[in-house]
Amino acid sequence: MLRQTVEYELTLLRTQHGKQTAFTHHLQTQFNQANDQIKQLQLQVETHNQHKDNELKEKDKKILELENETETLHERERRIEALNEQIQKMEKTFTDSESLSRKNLAQSILAKERETELKKEYE
């Protein structure tokens, strides 16, 4: 009877050990699956972050290009303003010169007429 009891207890222990081993194996499998999912999620996060980093780099590059283009346009605008000022000065100089030339021509004509009159008077 003692032997049967010992064998029965041994069978119970083996059964319990088998159940514990199966449960431990099941937990290990779940842990491994969760670990794999975490790795996949980490890979997705890294991929997403890399994509966002690339987008930010492209945006930074575009901003720099736009800043450079803006500076170029401002420089062109300043040059155009300077050229317009020079043109206005040249137009004023030309107008002043033209007025002076007309005045000198008128004086010259008057002087010639006066000379002609004086010649007639002396003759």
Asked whether the CA dihedral 104, 109, 115, 118 is positive or negative, the reply is negative
pLDDT for 21 equals 93
CA distances from 37 to 23, 28, 34, 41, 63 (A): 21, 14, 5, 6, 38
Each of the 123 residues of the chain gets a pLDDT tens digit; together they read: 888 888 888 898 889 998 999 999 999 999 999 999 999 999 999 999 999 999 999 999 999 999 999 999 999 999 999 999 999 999 999 999 999 999 999 999 999 998 898 888 877
Kindly report the three-state secondary structure assignment for every residue of the chain. CHHHHHHHHHHHHHHHHHHHHHHHHHHHHHHHHHHHHHHHHHHHHHHHHHHHHHHHHHHHHHHHHHHHHHHHHHHHHHHHHHHHHHHHHHHHHHHHHHHHHHHHHHHHHHHHHHHHHHHHHHC
**pLDDT for the residue numbered 6:** 86
Give residue limits of the domains in the chain.
58-122
